[in-house]
Amino acid sequence: MQNNTFSTLFVGQNLIKLSEVDSTNNFLKELVSKSEPLPEGTVIMADNQYAGRGQQQNIWHTEPGKNLTFSVYLKPSFLNIPQQFLLNMAISIAVNEALTNLLGAGVSIKWPNDIYYKDLKLGGILIENMIAGNRFKSGIIGIGLNVNQQHFEPHLSGKATSVYQILHKDVSLKMLLTDICSHIESNYLKLKAADYLYLRNAYHNRLYRFDEQHKYRHNGEVFFASIQGVRDTGMLVLLEGETEKEYNFKEIEFLN
Contact 115, 125 (CB under 8 A): yes
Q: What is the pLDDT along the chain (256 residues), one digit of tens a residue?
A: 444 568 899 999 999 999 999 999 999 999 998 867 899 999 999 998 887 655 444 555 667 899 999 999 999 999 999 898 999 999 999 999 999 999 999 999 999 999 999 999 999 999 999 998 888 889 999 999 999 999 998 888 889 999 999 999 999 999 999 999 999 999 999 999 999 999 999 999 999 999 999 999 999 999 999 999 999 999 999 999 999 999 999 999 999 8
Q: Which pLDDT score, from 0 to 100, does residue 158 have?
A: 85
Q: Which pLDDT score, from 0 to 100, does residue 95 have?
A: 98
Q: Where are the beta strands (DSSP E) in the chain?
A: 15-21, 43-49, 52-53, 59-60, 68-74, 107-110, 114-117, 120-132, 135-145, 213-218, 221-230, 236-240, 243-247, 253-254
Q: Which pLDDT score, from 0 to 100, does residue 237 have?
A: 98
Q: Where are the beta strands (DSSP E) in 98-134?
A: 107-110, 114-117, 120-132
Is cis: bond before 154, omega within 30 of 0?
no
- The amino acid present at 142, given as its one-letter code, is G
